[in-house]
Amino acid sequence: MANILLTRIDNRLIHGQVAVTWVNHIGANLILVADDKVAENSIQQSLMDMAVPDVIETRYFTVQETIDNIGYAADDQLIFLVVRTPQTLLRLVEGGVSIDKVNVGNMHYSEGKEQIISTVSVDEKDIETFKKLDELGVKMDVRRVPDERGKNIMDLI
């Protein structure tokens, strides 16, 4: 299986915090975004690439492409996997992608969601998905930045 250093849920996907702070902290050399919409949108990809230092590669795959291809990653590819939602994460795990720890970074507030911490808002669907991921053995740590003390999402929902 691929060398996934960390997986992050962030509805903004790639931005400065992901592209610099987290990449440097974990030592990644590839950011892989698993998102069906962005995989088909070259303009969004170009905008996100602008935040990424030249020495870091990016890939934009659909969820199914990620499931089908991540196992072919080269040994020297140190992957930071980024997804928009916990539902995408669950699809990856159920599809056979080996993910044992997740950073829950940012889930915006919207109507029908409850803010459980300053950067994370959830609805019933999200809570149900987090519970399934927990049952599958995925450890989920809520942190905006690496030097912040993390909290287990299961203690917050």
Catalytic residue list contains 108: no
Instruction: Name all contacts of 137-141 with Cβ < 8 Å and 24+ positions apart.
Output: 137/100, 138/89, 138/93, 138/99, 138/100, 138/101, 138/102, 139/100, 139/101, 139/102, 140/101, 140/102, 140/104, 141/101, 141/102, 141/103, 141/104
> Angle at the Cα of 37 (from 150 to 114), degrees rounded to 5?
40
Q: Which of 12, 15, 131, 143 is catalytic?
A: 15
Contact 78, 30 (CB under 8 A): yes
Cα distance between residue 133 and residue 121, in whole Å = 17
Q: Show which residues are catalytic.
A: 15
